Chain A
Amino acid sequence: RKEVEQDPGPFNVPEGATVAFNCTYSNSASQSFFWYRQDCRKEPKLLMSVYSSGNEDGRFTAQLNRASQYISLLIRDSKLSDSATYLCVVNPPSNTGKLIFGQGTTLQVKP
């Protein structure tokens, strides 16, 4: 089993739609969680951290379910500019700062 698993998609949605991605992780002792965004042929960039209480940043909402070992990202009112690959990232229980990346979920927002 992979340490971090995502549905690669692609998810094709119309502008204005709401879309959700899930990600599962295997190590129950993992400490922290993130969503990164990667545009085509660019470096990944931190989108948001994921907290147990859930957190929201504008149109983006991230949730963590430790009992089921999954995290989610909800995007409301999708924009064309949201088209990208979204990487689920887990910080495992170590003190080296090594992050584990999922292979990414591709979102394509259509006009």
Chain B
Amino acid sequence: NAGVTQTPKFQVLKTGQSMTLQCAQDMNHNSMYWYRQDPGMGLRLIYYSASEGTTDKGEVPNGYNVSRLNKREFSLRLESAAPSQTSVYFCASTLWGIAGEGGYTFGSGTRLTVV
């Protein structure tokens, strides 16, 4: 059982380049999330998808777009990367409405550096 799989694990981009971070879960979870983690800032929510077919902005959505491709997959796109987007990105999932039961399952993260 793979859980939550993120690709790539590492990426270096030049300012202005675009890329898509992929996330897939095999636990039949309804809700999926993208967080970024920066030193001293903790985890901050970028976008989330409460259920298939819906997406909503989180705390720090500027510069990002998302696609909930199907129930399993939730991708995060940087259209024009900026150095401020250098961070560790985590995808997470949970059964909708019962995050209070078991919390999230996280992917292993993508370390992105924008130069």
Q: Is the CB of B97 within 8 A of A95?
A: yes
| Tally of B interface residues using CB under 8 Å | 27
Q: Mark A47-75, 1 if CB is under 8 A from B, else 0.
A: 00100000000000000000000000000
Are A97 and B90 neighbours in the complex by a CB distance under 8 Å? Answer: no
B114 at the interface (CB under 8 A from A): no
A65 → chain B closest CB, angstroms: 18
**CB closest chain-A residue, reference B109:** A43
- Which residues of B37-65 are within 8 A (CB) of A? 40-43, 45, 48, 50, 56, 58
B48, B102, B106 — most chain A CB neighbours (10 Å): B106
Closest CB in chain A relative to B107 CB, distance in Å: 6
Which 10 pairs across A and B sit closest by C-beta, in order of nearness?
A103-B42, A32-B100, A97-B99, A43-B106, A101-B43, A97-B31, A46-B103, A96-B50, A91-B100, A34-B103
CB-defined A-B contacts under 8 Å, sample of 10: A32-B100, A43-B90, A43-B108, A87-B43, A97-B96, A97-B98, A98-B45, A98-B48, A98-B58, A99-B104
